[in-house]
Amino acid sequence: TVGAVARDMGGNLAAATSTGGMTNKAPGRVGDAPLIGAGTYASNRGCAVSATGHGEMFIRLTVARDIAAMMEYLGLDLEEAVRRKVHDELPALEGAGGLIAVGPEGLPVLSFNTPGMYRASRCAGESEQIAIFE
Amino acid sequence: MNNTPWALALHGGAGTILRSKLTKQEEARFREGLADALRAGTAVLEKGGAAIDAVERTVIALEENPMFNAGRGSVLTSEGGIEMDAAIMDGRNLDAGAVIGLNTVRNPISLARLVMEKNDHVVLAGKGAEAFARERGLQSMPTDWFVTERRRNQLEEARKTQAVSLDHNDGKYG
């Protein structure tokens, strides 16, 4: 699975996710990537999220929208909302994977509960960050 | 908090990635692919372009790279087929588009965007999505174009153990 989140100079957010699914998956199986609110979500009132991992668990937890909702209704910052989802709630369902997110301000958050996630980020005036392993 | 005016992040999948299972050459190819995709997206944002354009450009770059599990280089189903999914969402207005179960569309994320912008629905699947892609002139490729030897080998390994694998497990399943 691959994905991207962005904030532009106008403060607008967007998210995109694309995938071939899982190796040896049953024909017709659909994961979280194309389900709005599970693996992909963007709202200028909250954040933009793209996820990767055990899609079934990300669907059950409506991961992407829930992170935005925690920011909107609980007033959590992006980092804390992502931490709760990726490191508390997903592991409780044995949901392995991670996500990238960006809010209306601040740096992107890249978080995962597996040994690694292929990832990269960059902000205005900053250098590229590229990493694979934890 | 850093109030940087624009920001971009991307991922190329996750899993139980072990450094010992990844050759230096493979790691270099992955890093190069991540860097290329990052530059594709930041080029849009640096010029004052829209976030929605930046995420599409970034994902297209990853779909075109056979190292990653999307577009060319997608993993295989238990029947040895290709079934690609994609979604895109615009935070300005909550517009969204998604496509499911594609097997010929070269860049599924661009079809998702077309669904978002040029279709009354949010999600199109299977034959209907493929037909919409043809109607809109999106490039199609034969199924073999998407399938790499690496993915065939991974499917064979998974079949032996009846495993369904995340993107990157022990460096075997991308």
Report how many helices (DSSP H) and strands (DSSP E) chain B contains, helices first.
6, 4
Residue B174 scores a pLDDT above 50: no
The residues of A annotated as belonging to the active site are 1
Q: How many residues does chain B have?
A: 174
Residue-wise pLDDT for A43-80, tens only, equals 999 999 999 999 999 999 999 999 999 999 999 999 99
Supply the pLDDT for residue B162: 74
Supply the pLDDT for residue B103: 97
Supply the pLDDT for residue B2: 57
The phi and psi torsions of B152 (rounded to 5 degrees) equal -60, -45
Residue found under tokens 């065939």: B152
Binned at pLDDT 50, 70 and 90, residue B7 comes out as: very high
Note the Cα B73 to chain centre separation in Å.
9
Supply the pLDDT for residue B130: 98
Higher pLDDT, B132 or B15: B132
CB nearest to A6's CB, from B14, B15, B55: B55
Q: B92 and chain A: CB distance < 8 Å anywhere? A: yes
Q: ipTM value, please give it.
A: 0.98
Binned at pLDDT 50, 70 and 90, residue B173 comes out as: very low
Please tell me the distance from the alpha carbon of residue B36 to that of residue A120, in angstroms, as a whole number. 10
Q: Mean per-residue pLDDT for B11-35? A: 89
DSSP-derived secondary structure letter, A26: P
CB nearest to A121's CB, from B9, B68, B167: B9
Please indicate whether, in this complex, the C-beta atoms of B38 and A122 are within 8 angstroms of each other: yes
Q: B94 and chain A: CB distance < 8 Å anywhere? A: yes
Residue-wise pLDDT for A95-127, tens only, equals 999 999 999 999 999 999 999 999 999 999 999
Q: A23 and chain B: CB distance < 8 Å anywhere? A: yes
Residue-wise pLDDT for B125-164, tens only, equals 999 999 999 999 999 999 999 999 999 999 999 998 877 7
Binned at pLDDT 50, 70 and 90, residue A13 comes out as: very high
Supply the pLDDT for residue B163: 75
Q: State both tokens at B106.
A: 């070269």
Residue A34 near residue A50, CB atoms below 8 Å: no
